[in-house]
Amino acid sequence: MTQTAATTTDAPIRALVVDDSEDDAFLLKAELAQRGVAIDYRRVDSELDMAAALAADDWDLVISDHNMPGFDALAALEVLKRSGRDLPFILHSGHISDQLAISAMYDGVHDVIPKGQYERMVPVIERELRGAAARRAVRQADDRIQQLSYFDKLSKLPNQNLFCTKVSDWLDGALQRGRAVRGALFVIDIDRFLRVNASFGYESGNDIICQISVRLLEVLQSDVVLARLGGDEFGVFVPGIGERASAEVFARWISKVFEAPFMKDGIELFLTPSIGIALVPVDGTQVYDLLMNAETASAQVKRRGGNGFRFYDRTMNAASAERVALEADLRHAVERDELFLEFQPVLEAASGRIVSAEALVRWNHPRLGRVPPDRFIAIADETGLIVEIGDWVLNEAARRCHAWHEAGFTDMNVSVNVSAMQFGQPRLLESVRDTLARTGLRPGCLMLEITESSLMQDAESTAGMLRALRNMGVRISVDDFGTGYSSLSYLKRFPIDVIKIDKSFVRDLCTDEEDAAIVRAIIALAHSMRRSTIAEGVETEAQIELLKRERCEYFQGYYYGRPMAFAQLLERLESQDAPVA
């Protein structure tokens, strides 16, 4: 606290008086009070008592006599220094030489006031209290700067800067001591965390991050370095772990943190981690190498569906470099005219005629040749390129369908897959509207295929988006039905035209009774709600016969044709309408 003579109504100054005379201490208090400076004091006269007083209470300043039996002002100053307290120290003595006074000032005494000169004492106290307050403000500012620089504001955990500093210090210290350096660095990435933000808002996401931080703190020992690296990513460094088996046990221990649901407004949220592991010294002895390698391993886990852990190995860097190069090339694929469409026919069960086709994007890389979709679609999704590519696919598919109409096949429809990222953006409506206007395609001939999981990310926004698309006349199908939520309630709420039965159920339809039962249930459900069904992955006559018995309306699969070029499908359309000789 800071008091001055002008603030006599403030709480008294707390002074630690070092003096062997109680009378002198009381006189000091009385004289200062007459001059408008109120003090509460405690008198001490030995090193032990002074150290105890400094440890027990907060003080504003120290006023010390010089000559006391077995104790003097310079010894008292040393006690103050050892305590770590930054308090003004005023030497108040009747017997001290000028040379000793100057020497004391050099040692750290703030001022020297001869006993009895109380008028001079008042401005010195005011000055030194102001100085102490200024130094305290500077320390608080420094502490705040350090807090912002080294600690995460949300979780209060160390941030990446402090994490790297602590790990580096430990690694350097171990190397300097000549000991075997062993440790493990774990990167924990929360799977599909963006869904929490998208569904419940960023405040809820922040609350979940704090819950995760608390759980990790509870299970990790004090010698472990834990940090929030940023976003939904945490870092853990465990000194001493040198074997994969021990690191694996620790990774499983971390995974247990996520077994119980996280609660938000009474709702249970289940989250899973993707954990990457880098070992010291096998995967590096510098913190940034270890961190990069663990992040690479974590990304591998996430690309494989998450909810697991993986150790770093050197082949991952080669794969990552290839992935980066592929991403760079993909960014120019549209403008360089490297993308093209293939179409897989959809046949009507009753007539056996091709009535529609699913548009599938392909990439003809100038150096690598045809790149499989499972290699570049995932990259497009992660980087956001899927939005630009999706716009191109939509426009090209509509243009090709209109070309079938101009060739005389006016009943042909085309279906286009819409990614979760595309579907979550309002510009999808504008893109569809512009495409229909640009190509002249009738809205009812365009069907957008959306996966179950995409539909359920935000039910309210989904319903609004689907209604807007239906108002344009565009048709909607649920792709991969049965592999996601399979909720009857959303089928009833959402304006859906077609349900596509996932090929995983159709594949073993004739040999697996459970799959057959699921297919029958999906078809019956669709019919009860006046929706049509398309069976994907049809490859055998036996599958066709069974699906016909259950009154599935449309078939799609290799039995009727693999994805093919526009011209090839046009030939198929022409041949099915050719007169029989």
Assess contact for 506 and 537: CB atoms under 8 A: yes
Of 180, 206, 303, nearest to 262 by C-alpha is: 206
Averaged pLDDT of the chain: 86
272 and 344: one domain?
no
Confidence of residue 98 (pLDDT cuts 50, 70, 90): confident
C-alpha 214/C-alpha 218 separation (Å) is: 6
Q: Is residue 7 part of a domain?
A: no
Confidence of residue 409 (pLDDT cuts 50, 70, 90): very high
CATH code at position 306: 3.30.70.270
Cβ neighbours of residue 261 under 8 Å, at least 6 residues apart? 268, 269, 270
Instruction: Say which residue the tokens 């093919």 belong to.
Output: 564
E-state strands within 453-531: 475-481, 498-501
Does 5 score more than 50 pLDDT?
no
Assess contact for 447 and 416: CB atoms under 8 A: yes
**Vertex 174, ends 169 and 179: CA angle to 5°?**
175
Cross-strand partners of 279: 184
**Phi, psi values for residue 403, rounded to 5°:** -65, -35
The more confident residue out of 452 and 121 is 121
84 and 225: one domain?
no
> What pLDDT was estimated at residue 1?
39
> What pLDDT was estimated at residue 476?
92
Give 396-461 as a 3 state SS string.
HHHHHHHHHHHCCCCCCEEEEECCHHHHCCCHHHHHHHHHHHHHCCCHHHEEEEEEHHHHCCCHHH
243 and 369: one domain?
no
> What pLDDT was estimated at residue 435?
95
Distance from first CA to last CA of the chain, Å, rounded? 107
User: Which pair of tokens denotes residue 521?
Assistant: 């249930």
Judging by DSSP bridges, how do beta strands 339-348 and 354-365 pair with one another?
antiparallel
Q: Is residue 113 part of a domain?
A: yes
Assess contact for 375 and 573: CB atoms under 8 A: no
Q: Is residue 325 part of a domain?
A: no
Confidence of residue 386 (pLDDT cuts 50, 70, 90): confident
Of 98, 18, 25, 105, nearest to 63 by C-alpha is: 18
The more confident residue out of 317 and 245 is 245
Judging by DSSP bridges, how do beta strands 183-190 and 233-239 pair with one another?
antiparallel
C-alpha 256/C-alpha 198 separation (Å) is: 25
Cis preceding-peptide flag for 281 (omega within 30 of 0): yes
Which of these ranges, 192-206, 276-290, 355-369, has the smallest mean pLDDT?
Answer: 192-206
110 and 201: one domain?
no
> What pLDDT was estimated at residue 9?
42
C-alpha 364/C-alpha 514 separation (Å) is: 40
What is the separation of C-alpha 78 from the centre of its chain, rounded to a whole number of angstroms?
50
Given 313, 343, 371, the domain boundary residue is: 313
Instruction: Say which residue the tokens 């869904």 belong to.
Output: 195
The more confident residue out of 543 and 137 is 543
How many other C-beta atoms are found inside a 10 Å radius of the C-beta of residue 383?
Answer: 13
Report, as an integer, the average pLDDT of 526-552. Answer: 92
> What pLDDT was estimated at residue 374?
82
C-alpha 59/C-alpha 69 separation (Å) is: 24
Confidence of residue 474 (pLDDT cuts 50, 70, 90): very high
Q: Is residue 323 part of a domain?
A: no
DSSP single-letter state for residue 344: E
Q: Is residue 346 part of a domain?
A: yes
How many other C-beta atoms are found inside a 10 Å radius of the C-beta of residue 378?
Answer: 13
E-state strands within 77-130: 89-93, 111-114
Q: What percent of the chain has pLDDT over 90?
A: 45
187 and 253: one domain?
yes
267 and 364: one domain?
no
Of 57, 60, 79, nearest to 68 by C-alpha is: 79
Given 85, 115, 148, the domain boundary residue is: 148
DSSP single-letter state for residue 509: T
One-letter amino acid at 230 equals G
Largest Cα separation within the chain, whole Å, is 133
Assess contact for 492 and 464: CB atoms under 8 A: no
135 and 164: one domain?
no
User: Which pair of tokens denotes residue 228?
Assistant: 């929030």
Confidence of residue 101 (pLDDT cuts 50, 70, 90): confident
464 and 548: one domain?
yes
Report, as an integer, the average pLDDT of 351-355. Answer: 93
304 and 176: one domain?
yes
In Å, how far are 6, 49, 548 from 560, measured between CA atoms? 97, 97, 15
Report, as an integer, the average pLDDT of 551-571. Answer: 94
The number of distinct structural domains making up the chain is 3
Domain that holds residue 246: 160-313
Q: What percent of the chain has pLDDT over 70?
A: 91
> What pLDDT was estimated at residue 7?
42
CATH code at position 453: 3.20.20.450
Q: Is residue 170 part of a domain?
A: yes
- The secondary structure element, H or E, covering residue 287 is helix 287-303
**Greatest mean pLDDT among 88-102, 125-139, 374-388, 546-560:** 546-560
User: Which pair of tokens denotes residue 52?
Assistant: 């105890």
> What pLDDT was estimated at residue 212?
94
Instruction: Say which residue the tokens 């504003």 belong to.
Output: 60
**Vertex 30, ends 26 and 35: CA angle to 5°?**
150
Assess contact for 96 and 75: CB atoms under 8 A: no
> What pLDDT was estimated at residue 254?
93
Report, as an integer, the average pLDDT of 286-301. Answer: 91
One-letter amino acid at 77 equals L
Report, as an integer, the average pLDDT of 9-16. Answer: 82
81 and 166: one domain?
no
Does 6 score more than 60 pLDDT?
no
Does 488 score more than 90 pLDDT?
no
Given phi > 0 = left and psi -120 to 50 = alpha, else beta, which region is 555? beta
Q: Is residue 406 part of a domain?
A: yes
Report, as an integer, the average pLDDT of 90-110. Answer: 82
Q: Is residue 528 part of a domain?
A: yes
Q: Per-residue pLDDT tens for 421-438?
A: 788 777 889 999 999 999
CATH code at position 63: 3.40.50.2300
Cβ neighbours of residue 36 under 8 Å, at least 6 residues apart? 5, 6, 8, 122
> What pLDDT was estimated at residue 238?
94
User: Which pair of tokens denotes residue 359?
Assistant: 């548009």
Which of these ranges, 95-109, 330-344, 484-498, 499-513, has the smallest mean pLDDT?
Answer: 484-498
Given 126, 148, 170, the domain boundary residue is: 148
540 and 572: one domain?
yes
138 and 176: one domain?
no
Instruction: Say which residue the tokens 């209109």 belong to.
Output: 402
Does 10 score more than 90 pLDDT?
no
